Chain A
Amino acid sequence: NAGVTQTPKFRILKIGQSMTLQCTQDMNHNYMYWYRQDPGMGLKLIYYSVGAGITDKGEVPNGYNVSRSTTEDFPLRLELAAPSQTSVYFCASRNYEQYFGPGTRLTVT
Chain B
Amino acid sequence: GQQLNQSPQSMFIQEGEDVSMNCTSSSIFNTWLWYKQDPGEGPVLLIALYKAGELTSNGRLTAQFGITRKDSFLNISASIPSDVGIYFCAGQQGAQKLVFGQGTRLTINP
Residues of chain A at the chain B interface (Cβ within 8 Å): 4, 31, 33, 41-43, 45, 48, 50, 58-59, 90, 92, 96-103, 105
Contact = CB atoms under 8 A, between A and B. Distances in A.
Contact of A101 (B1, B35, B42, B98): B42
A6 to B, nearest CB: 8
Contacts of A103: 40-42
9 contacts: A4-B42, A33-B98, A43-B43, A90-B43, A97-B33, A98-B90, A100-B42, A100-B44, A102-B41
A4 B42 CA distance: 10
A98 B45 contact: yes
B66 interface: no
Majority secondary structure of chain B interface residues (helix, strand, loop or mixed): loop
Given A100-B42, A100-B43, A43 B97 contact: no
Interface string B44-71: 1100100000000000000000000000
Given A4-B42, A42-B100, 18 more contacts: A33-B97, A41-B103, A42-B101, A42-B102, A43-B100, A58-B97, A59-B1, A92-B42, A96-B48, A98-B33, A98-B90, A100-B35, A100-B43, A100-B44, A101-B42, A102-B41, A103-B40, A105-B40
Contact of B45 (A42, A58, A90, A99): A99
